[in-house]
Chains A and B, each alone.
Chain A
Amino acid sequence: MSVAEAEAREVRLDAPSGLWSEAWRRLRRNPGAIVGFVLVAAFVTVAIFAPLIATHGPREQNLSLLQGSCCPGPSGSHFFGVDALGRDLFSRVVYGARFSLLIGVVSVAVGLSVGLLIGAVAGYLGGWIDSILMRLMDIMLSIPGLLLAIGIVAALGPGLTQIMIAVGATQVPIFARLLRGSILATREADYVLAARAVGVKRRSILVSHILPNSLSPVIVQGTLALATAIIDVAGLGFLGLGPQDPSTPEWGTMLTDTTRYLQTAPFLALIPGAAIVVSVLGFNLIGDGLREALDPRFRGRA
C-alpha cells in the first residue's frame, strides 16, 4: 500500500457520515429498537395479510358454539376462543391489527400535517401570527387530551372516521409547538442566513433549508405519537365512541363489554388488550431508539 493510498483511506475514515446514515447505523446497534422493529414488522404483516392468517371471518357468527356457557376458551379450531356472540377471537384480533394500524397512521397523519403547517407558519413568520397561533395551541392544550377528543366526537357523532379526526386533533398542538421551537432554533443558523443573503425565496428557504433540519425531533415525536394514537383510539373505542357497527373488529371496542365476562371468560379481555400493548410497545421502542440515534449529543459515539 502506497503512502497516498493510506492517506486516502484515512481521509475516508475521517469524513463525517451524514446525519441519517449515522443515525441508521446507531439504530441498528440498539437492541431495544431492533425488538421494536420486529414487533412493528409483525404487526404490519398481520395487518396486511389478515385474510390469509385469519381462520374465520371477523364478523362470522356461530351461536351454536355458545351452548352451555359463555364462552368457549382457546381450542384447536379457535386459537383464542370464541366471544360472547360466537365469533372467532383469533380472527377478530388479526383483523383488528388492520384497524389499529389504519387508525394510528391516519390520526397521526391528521395531527402531523395540520400541526406541522401551523408550526411552520408560526415559526417562520413570527410576529403577531405566531402569537395568535401559539395562544390557540395553548387553549387546545388546556383541555385534557381525552376530553378534547370526547368533545370533538360529541360534535361529529361517534364513528371510526370521527375518532381518527378527534385523536389527530389532540396531537395538533404538540406537533405545532415542537416544529415551531425547532424552526426558531434553525432560523438563525448560518446556512439560512447565507441562503437569504444570496436571495433565495422565502418559501424555498423554508422548504429546502429550514424544514429538513428541523425534522428530526418531529420524526421521533411522530413515532411516539403513533403509539399514543393507538392507545387513545382504543380508549375511545372502549368507551363506546368508536365504530358504531359493533361487529367491527377494533381492539378497543372489543374490550368494551368484556369486564362482564371476567369471571368466566377472562381471555376475551386479556388477548385484545395484549395485542394493543404489543403494538404500542413496538412503536415506543422504535421512537426511543430514534431519539437516541438522532440526538446530536450522542453523535460520534457509535
Chain B
Amino acid sequence: MLKFVVRRLLLLVPILLGLSILVFVWIRALPGGPAQALLGERATRESVEQIERQYGLNKPIHVQYWSYLSTTARGDLGTSITTRRPVTDELKQRFPATIELTLAAMLFSLAFGIPLGFAAAKRYGTSLDHASLVFSLLGVSIPVFFLAILLKYVFAVKLGLLPTVGRISALLDIEHPTNFYLLDALLAGDLNAFWDVFKHLLLPAVALGSIPLAIIARITRAAVLDVQNEDYVRTARAKGLSPRVVDERHIFRNALLPIVTIIGLQAGLLLSGAVLTETVFAFPGMGTWLVDAIRARNFPVLQGGILFVSLVFVLVNLLVDVLYAVINPRIRVS
C-alpha cells in the first residue's frame, strides 16, 4: 500500500515538470513576448529592456527555465498587472472561494447522485429508472452556465428566494482569517452571517453540482446493475443475509470502485465549470479572477492561476487514486 502511494508520488514528478515546461513555453509564445506580457501593452521600449535584464530574459533558455522553476517553487508567481499586488496574495483570497464552491457542489452531487443511481438500478425498468436516465441525459447536455442562468432566473429573480450575486451581503462584515466564508462565519460565531453565506453559496453550488450529479447517478446505476448479478451477491442472498446487508456490504462496496474513478474525472469538470458558474453569479473566486485577467491581458495572474489550478487538479487525482487503492482490496493487499 505504502509502495503504491510512493510510486504514484514519483509518477507525479515528470507530470509537474512537464506542466512547468508547458507553462514556461506558453509564456514565451505570448504575443509580444514575456516582458511585454509582464508589463502590459503600453510598456515603453526601455522598461521592456529593463525587465528583460531583471528577469534574465536575455540569458540562454535553460538558464531561464531554471530560474523560472526556482522562483515558482519558492512561491513567487509575480505581480498582477492591474492591481500591482503579488499574484500569490490574490490567490490566497480567490482560491478558498472556488474551493468552497467546488466542495459544496461535489457534496451536493454525491449526496443526491449516488442514492439516485442506486435507487434507479434497484428499480430497473420502472418509471423512476427512466426518469433518472432522462435526467442524466439532460444533465450532460446542458451547459453549466446556462443551467446557472436558469437557476438564477427561477430562484433569485422570479421567486426572489436567494441572492443573485457575490458571496456575502454587503452589509454583513465579518473577519476573514481563512477566506472560507462559511468557516469564517463559524469562527466568528456569527450564525446570521453563516446563513447569509450559505444562501449565497446555494445556487452556484447547485448549478455547478448538477452536471456531475447526472454523471455520478448514471455511473452508479450502471455499476450497481453490473454488480447486482454477480455470483457473490447471489450467494449472499442465498445464505439468508438481509437485503439491507447485501445492499450495503456486497453491492454498494463493489459498485464504489467505478464511482470513485468518476469522481476524479469530475474534479476537472468542476474546476472548469467553476469558471463559468462564478461568472454568472459574480462570485469572486478563481474563475472571475482568470476571466478578468484574460480581458486585461494580465498574464502573470493567468500563468499563476492556471499553474496552481492544474497543480490542485493533479493532487486531487492522486488523492482519488489512493482512495481507489484503499477501497480496492486487490490493490490494498498486494
Residues of chain A touching chain B, judged by Cβ–Cβ distance below 8 Å, are 135-136, 138-140, 142-147, 150-151, 153-155, 157-158, 227, 231, 234-235, 238-241, 252, 255, 258-259, 262-263, 266, 269-270, 273, 276-277, 280-281, 284-285, 288
- Decide if A155 touches B26 in the complex (CB within 8 Å): yes
Bound Cα distance from A254 to B313, whole angstroms: 31
Q: Which 9 A-B pairs have the closest CB atoms?
A: A146-B272, A139-B18, A273-B146, A281-B141, A144-B268, A144-B271, A280-B141, A143-B310, A144-B272
Q: How many residues of B are in contact with the other chain, CB < 8 A?
A: 45
Specify which chain A residues have a CB less than 8 angstroms from the CB of B181 in the assembled complex.
none
- Decide if A255 touches B272 in the complex (CB within 8 Å): no
Q: A147-B275, A266-B157 are in contact. List 6 more A-B contacts (CB 8 A).
A: A139-B19, A139-B22, A146-B273, A154-B297, A235-B276, A273-B149
B29 within 8 A of partner (CB): yes
Specify which chain A residues have a CB less than 8 angstroms from the CB of B268 in the assembled complex.
144-145
B291 within 8 A of partner (CB): yes
Least CB separation from A275: chain B residue: B146
- Known A151-B26, A258-B149: A276·B143 in contact at CB below 8 Å: yes
Specify which chain B residues have a CB less than 8 angstroms from the CB of A258 in the assembled complex.
149
- Known A273-B150, A280-B141: A147·B157 in contact at CB below 8 Å: no
Among the listed B14, B157, B314, which residue makes an inter-chain contact with A135, where contact means beta carbons less than 8 Å apart?
B14
- Decide if A263 touches B310 in the complex (CB within 8 Å): no
Least CB separation from B12: chain A residue: A142
Among the listed B19, B145, B150, B157, which residue makes an inter-chain contact with A235, where contact means beta carbons less than 8 Å apart?
B145
Among the listed A150, A231, A284, which residue makes an inter-chain contact with B143, where contact means beta carbons less than 8 Å apart?
A231
Among the listed A239, A262, A277, A288, which residue makes an inter-chain contact with B279, where contact means beta carbons less than 8 Å apart?
A239
Bound Cα distance from A172 to B295, whole angstroms: 26
Bound Cα distance from A238 to B278, whole angstroms: 12
B94 within 8 A of partner (CB): no
B245 within 8 A of partner (CB): no
Specify which chain A residues have a CB less than 8 angstroms from the CB of B269 in the assembled complex.
144-145
Bound Cα distance from A150 to B19, whole angstroms: 16
Least Cβ–Cβ distance between B241 and chain A, in angstroms: 30
- Decide if B137 touches A285 in the complex (CB within 8 Å): yes
Specify which chain B residues have a CB less than 8 angstroms from the CB of A270 in the assembled complex.
150, 153
Specify which chain A residues have a CB less than 8 angstroms from the CB of B30 in the assembled complex.
154-155
Specify which chain A residues have a CB less than 8 angstroms from the CB of B153 in the assembled complex.
262, 266, 269-270
B302 within 8 A of partner (CB): yes
Least CB separation from B31: chain A residue: A157
B259 within 8 A of partner (CB): no
Specify which chain B residues have a CB less than 8 angstroms from the CB of A143 in the assembled complex.
19, 22, 306, 309-310, 313
B290 within 8 A of partner (CB): yes
Least Cβ–Cβ distance between B300 and chain A, in angstroms: 12
Identify whether the interface residues of B are mostly helix, strand, loop, or mixed: helix
- Decide if A151 touches B272 in the complex (CB within 8 Å): no
Least CB separation from A274: chain B residue: B146
Specify which chain B residues have a CB less than 8 angstroms from the CB of A276 in the assembled complex.
142-143, 146
Least Cβ–Cβ distance between B242 and chain A, in angstroms: 33
- Decide if A269 touches B275 in the complex (CB within 8 Å): no
- Decide if B306 touches A259 in the complex (CB within 8 Å): no
Least CB separation from B27: chain A residue: A155
B1 within 8 A of partner (CB): no
Specify which chain B residues have a CB less than 8 angstroms from the CB of A241 in the assembled complex.
294
Specify which chain B residues have a CB less than 8 angstroms from the CB of A144 in the assembled complex.
268-269, 271-272, 309-310, 313
Least Cβ–Cβ distance between B37 and chain A, in angstroms: 9
Least CB separation from A36: chain B residue: B137
- Decide if A147 touches B149 in the complex (CB within 8 Å): no
Interface string of B98-136 (1 = CB under 8 A from A): 000000000000000000000000000000000000000
Least Cβ–Cβ distance between B236 and chain A, in angstroms: 25
Bound Cα distance from A280 to B152, whole angstroms: 22
Specify which chain A residues have a CB less than 8 angstroms from the CB of B150 in the assembled complex.
270, 273
- Decide if B18 touches A135 in the complex (CB within 8 Å): yes
Bound Cα distance from A255 to B297, whole angstroms: 23
Among the listed B31, B276, B309, which residue makes an inter-chain contact with A155, where contact means beta carbons less than 8 Å apart?
B31
- Decide if A150 touches B31 in the complex (CB within 8 Å): no
Least CB separation from B275: chain A residue: A146
- Decide if B138 touches A145 in the complex (CB within 8 Å): no
- Known A139-B19, A273-B146, A277-B146: A154·B275 in contact at CB below 8 Å: no
Interface string of B309-320 (1 = CB under 8 A from A): 110011001000
- In the complex, 16 of the A-B residue pairs with CB atoms within 8 angstroms, ordered by the A residue number, are A139-B18, A142-B19, A142-B317, A143-B306, A144-B313, A145-B272, A146-B273, A147-B290, A154-B297, A155-B29, A235-B276, A266-B157, A276-B146, A277-B142, A280-B141, A280-B143
Specify which chain B residues have a CB less than 8 angstroms from the CB of A146 in the assembled complex.
272-273, 275-276
Least CB separation from A138: chain B residue: B15
- Decide if B15 touches A142 in the complex (CB within 8 Å): yes
- Decide if A150 touches B152 in the complex (CB within 8 Å): no
Least CB separation from B302: chain A residue: A154
- Decide if A277 touches B141 in the complex (CB within 8 Å): yes
B140 within 8 A of partner (CB): yes
Specify which chain B residues have a CB less than 8 angstroms from the CB of A285 in the assembled complex.
137
Least Cβ–Cβ distance between A252 and chain B, in angstroms: 8
- Decide if A154 touches B294 in the complex (CB within 8 Å): yes
Least Cβ–Cβ distance between A174 and chain B, in angstroms: 11
